Amino acid sequence: MPIRTILRFPDARLQKPAAPVERFDADLAALATDLLDTMRAAPGIGITAPHIGVLQRLTVIELDAASGVRTYVNPRIIRSSTETISHVEGSVSMPGITEDVVRPRAIRVRYQTLSGDTLEEDADGLLCICLQHEIDQLDGTFWLQRLSRLKRDRAIKRFARQEKAG
Whether residue 92 is contained in a domain is answered as: yes
Dump pLDDT digits (tens) for 11-29.
Answer: 999 999 999 999 999 999 9
**Catalytic position from the list 22, 120, 134, 163:** 134
pLDDT number for residue 21: 98
Q: What is the DSSP letter of 133?
A: H
Instruction: Identify the CATH number of the domain in which residue 29 sits.
Output: 3.90.45.10
Q: Is 145 exposed, middle or buried (0-12, 13-18, 19+ CB in 10 A)?
A: exposed
Domain that holds residue 99: 12-165
Is 163 an annotated catalytic residue?
no
How many structural domains is the chain composed of?
1
Q: Is 2 part of any domain?
A: no
Q: Is 122 a domain residue?
A: yes
Q: What global pTM score does this model have?
A: 0.96
Beta bridge partners of 104: 84
The reply to whether 102 falls in a domain is yes
Contact 49, 38 (CB under 8 A): no
Give whole-number Cα distances, 36 to 45, 61, 122, in Å: 9, 8, 22
**Residue 83 included in any domain:** yes
Q: Is residue 1 part of a domain?
A: no
Residue 7 inside a domain? The answer is no
Q: What would the pLDDT profile of 25-64 be if each residue is shown by its tens digit?
A: 999 999 999 999 999 999 999 999 999 999 999 999 999 9
pLDDT, mean over the chain: 97
125 φ/ψ angles, rounded to the nearest 5 degrees:
65, -150
